[in-house]
């Protein structure tokens, strides 16, 4: 899993589940359907994954 990305977030990264502002360094990264998604915590990752039918 690649965690390094071009730092093109410009401080606009947010948890994709609850919308809480997060930083790349602290983001909880989960790969769902082959794409990386960023969350504030594992709980949000799980909730998002359930809603989006992640296998």
Phi-psi region of 13 (alpha: psi -120 to 50; beta: other; left: phi over 0): beta
- Establish if 44 lies at the interface with Zn ion (CB under 5 A): yes
End-to-end CA gap in the chain: 17
Q: Which residue lies nearer to Zn ion by CB, 30 or 40?
A: 40
Number of C-beta neighbours around residue 29 at 10 A: 14
**Residue span binding Zn ion (CB under 5 A) among the ranges 2-10, 13-21, 29-37, 47-55:** 13-21
Q: Which is nearer to Zn ion, 20 or 31 (CB)?
A: 20
Residues binding Zn ion (CB under 5 A): 15, 17-18, 20, 40, 44
């Amino acid at each position: 899993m690649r965690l390094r990305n071009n730092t093109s977030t410009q401080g606009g990264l947010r948890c994709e589940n609850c919308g809480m502002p997060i930083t790349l360094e602290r983001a909880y990264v989960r790969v769902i359907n082959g794409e990386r998604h960023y969350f504030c915590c594992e709980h949000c990752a799980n909730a998002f994954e359930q809603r989006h039918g992640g296998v």
